[in-house]
Structure 1
Amino acid sequence: MTRHTEVAIIGGGIVGCAVAYYTSKYGSDVVVIEKGELASGTSSHCDGNILAIDKEPGFDSQMTLQSQQLVHELSEELKKEFEYRQPGSILVCEDEEEMEMAEQWVNKQVQAGLSFRLLDQADLRNETPYLATDLLGGLECASDSTVNPYLFSYALFAAAKTRGATLWKNTSVRSIAKQSQHYVIETSNGTITADKVVNCGGVWAPKIGQMLGITIPILPRKGHILVSSRQVPVSPRKVMEFSYLMTKFGKERKVDRETEAYGAALVFEPTASQNFLLGSSREFVGFDNTVNWHAVRAIARRCIRFYPVLRDMSLLRVYFGFRPWVADHLPIISEVAAYPGYYIAAGHEGDGIGLAPITGKVIAEMIHQKTPSIEVEQLRNDRFSQREAIT
């Protein structure tokens, strides 16, 4: 079987579904190629955060703010429900040093135009009675929201489908070749020719890139999440420890050796299903597909330290995902200069759910030669080799 399309999207996760939605909105014929089911990879092995609270002030936080606004619009546009809520989120601090850093973080974010405020101990008591009593305070970002990432992916593709987008599921890409004015994609279920190709492969984007000799500097970073039963209303919204920021950006923390080794930090999220998602961990272990119980115990210890009541709650299950890590913590959203019409939309690490809407919109704008909604120079795929050349 051979099929021609204007835009072939490789990868049916949240980013691929967002690209399909916005590209089909411009009227393009779209085919999504997915090796499994929609959202069956990283997108179904994560939490549903759309956070600005943990973004560096400036370009990173502004990109997230635009994406948050798009998610709010999508909650009204899309026909399928995806459990969108906007309760805001908080970071909590253990000591005076973290409080000083939190105040600096808030000041920078407010100057950048985001809705941040500093919290004291009284604010934490008003938030929930279940937090540890020795916490000094923290900070809040009112714009932060949450979704069900699995349902969000399906809602985006369902809308794209009404505009003619099709899905080749359980279909592996075997090779890609550039021929004249189009690309030839050989798959396990036939051949697709396409005017444009968008690589939304996430942690597998480098493998797809290699088919054309394109180097994509993405590594898998493994992260565990625990699911707990909700026996008491521990907290109404997303709560993280302030040192989560240090974990994310690879900075030193005041924790025990095992906690540091697995990058374990409190990430607490109540779900619409009346459970709690508890995280997180960060490990570079390739594609090791086994649960690391040392990392799980480290997460549990951090969660109990901040919420002692969790000690008596039931652990329902544990899962993990591979997040597409990039060295400078920014995604790759770019056309490849050597291959006109070939785009990369990958490398979001733990921000794929939150940045999927702005990514999909920008890729669609690039494809249709519109001015991108954000400055894309910092997101180019060749920025790493350029930096090396400068140094």
Structure 2
Amino acid sequence: MRVVVIGAGIIGAACALALVERGAEVVVVDRLGVAGETSSRCEGNLLVSDKAPGPEAALAIASNAMWRTLAGRLDADRRDGQPATEFEAKGGIVVAFPGGEAALERFAAAQRATGIRAETLDAAALASAEPHLSPEVAHAVRYPDDAQVQPSNATQALLAAAMRHGARLVVAEVTGPIGGPGRIAGVRTATGAIPADVVVNCAGPWSAEVASRLGARLDIRPRRGVILVTTPMPQRVFHKVYDSDYVGAVGSGDAALQTSIVVESTPGGTVLIGSSRERVGFDDRPGVAPAGAIAAKAVRLFPFLERTILLRSYFGFRPYAPDHLPVIGPDPEIAGLVHATGHEGAGIGLAPATAELVAHAVLDAPTDLDPTPFLPTRDGLRETA
């Protein structure tokens, strides 16, 4: 089986490894190279805490378990100075300010019924876990299974492992398909044609454009997000800590700017502060409004940040689907074309499980995961803006 994977971000890299390990001949095609876009412009979240009961929660629980084995394996197999994935099983703490206590506890109770571990913290336990947190916080729930990787490093590690098994990387832009109407037999690129039995579209926010070039229709839209980075400091944040408003922002379809706070330390001593969401196409001029709103909310959560110097900020585009579910599976109109996209801000965390579903779709590899909710034929993708 010859497979072209379009996109060398985290989803493409994970799919390449899953396919080549199962015997496929894999070529990864990307116009920029490894982790050139979304996968190097995010926080590396491996979250179950933000998942409401439903198909994505089931996918996240499975993928979270896969990451614990996968990260250890990738780090053990490093070669030639390759950086570590920086996997941290730090856990997450979701907090509510006065007035939000009941809603947070209801959400956590519903999650517990699906198998997500969610531990309500009393005031003493919260102070011990996060001593620098604002005293304004009225309620907190700890999620022991939340974790973190350095996303660019993890993407590089996945693709390096795939290439050690025989996958190839071609840096070129896909310009069109090989094959007749209704059937794809490879891709044309700016540097030549690459024949394939199956093409997997892992182009993230650009998946709709790639699909169109290949003769398919796919409703995936970019959603811009901004992240702030402080200068290095002694560690004062010990979990991934975020305001419960984050869950609502993740599930919102509003195109306007929304901000919710996620704060965490990195192994290098910096603090990452997010996040914003807005649908503005591929506008690469975020201005200061998202950063200002994020900073103001972050200081309310961790007051010490008011006296902290920002090192930089960055932004990226996330692949947004109208019904907020990833799109994973065969295209309904083009035989030989498979999609793996639409994860928005959850792509890092969902990458291993997505790759397993892609291997199932392409190679009929066994899986205990249910592919049905994520298929491109579902009704939720027929909505319009």
Residues paired across the two proteins, number: 375
Matched with 1:176 is 177
Normalised TM-score (structure 1) = 0.92
Matched with 1:257 is none
Matched with 1:38 is 34
Normalised TM-score (structure 2) = 0.93
SS at match of 2:282: coil
Matched with 1:142 is 144
1:285 aligns with 2:280: yes
Shift of 1:272: 1.5
Contact 1:14 1:43 in 2 (8 A): yes
Which of 335, 342, 345 is residue 347 of structure 1 equivalent to? Answer: 342
Which of 346, 351, 370 is residue 365 of structure 2 equivalent to? Answer: 370
Distance (whole Å) between structure 2 residues aligned to residue 386 and residue 204 of structure 1: 16
Distance (whole Å) between structure 1 residues aligned to residue 159 and residue 382 of structure 2: 36
1:130 aligns with 2:126: no
Which amino acid is 1:273 matched to? G
Shift of 1:251: 8.6
Deviations 1:160-200 (CA, angstroms, capped at 9, x unpaired): 1111100002x011111324986131111111011110000
1:93 aligns with 2:88: no
Shift of 1:250: 2.2
Distance (whole Å) between structure 2 residues aligned to residue 273 and residue 226 of structure 1: 15
Distance (whole Å) between structure 2 residues aligned to residue 225 and residue 182 of structure 1: 38
Which of 152, 158, 163 is residue 154 of structure 2 equivalent to? Answer: 152
After superposition, the Cα gap between the structure-2 partners of 1:275 and 1:267, relative to the gap in structure 1 and judged at 3 Å, is same
Matched with 1:14 is 10
Shift of 1:212: 3.2
After superposition, the Cα gap between the structure-2 partners of 1:322 and 1:122, relative to the gap in structure 1 and judged at 3 Å, is same
Identity over aligned pairs, percent: 34
Structure 1 gap ranges (5+): 253-259
SS at match of 2:252: coil
Residues 161-240 of structure 1 correspond to what in structure 2 (within 5 A)? 161-169=163-171, 171-179=172-180, 183-240=185-242
Which of 60, 65, 73 is residue 56 of structure 2 equivalent to? Answer: 60
Which amino acid is 1:236 matched to? F
Distance (whole Å) between structure 2 residues aligned to residue 326 and residue 122 of structure 1: 41
Contact 1:22 1:360 in 2 (8 A): yes
SS at match of 2:356: helix
Q: Superposition RMSD on alpha carbons, in Å?
A: 1.9
Matched with 2:110 is 108
Which of 324, 327, 350 is residue 322 of structure 2 equivalent to? Answer: 327
Structure 2 gap ranges (5+): 79-83
SS at match of 1:265: strand
Shift of 1:385: 6.7
Distance (whole Å) between structure 2 residues aligned to residue 193 and residue 355 of structure 1: 29
Which amino acid is 1:172 matched to? E
Distance (whole Å) between structure 2 residues aligned to residue 188 and residue 211 of structure 1: 13
Distance (whole Å) between structure 1 residues aligned to residue 380 and residue 324 of structure 2: 16
SS at match of 2:280: coil
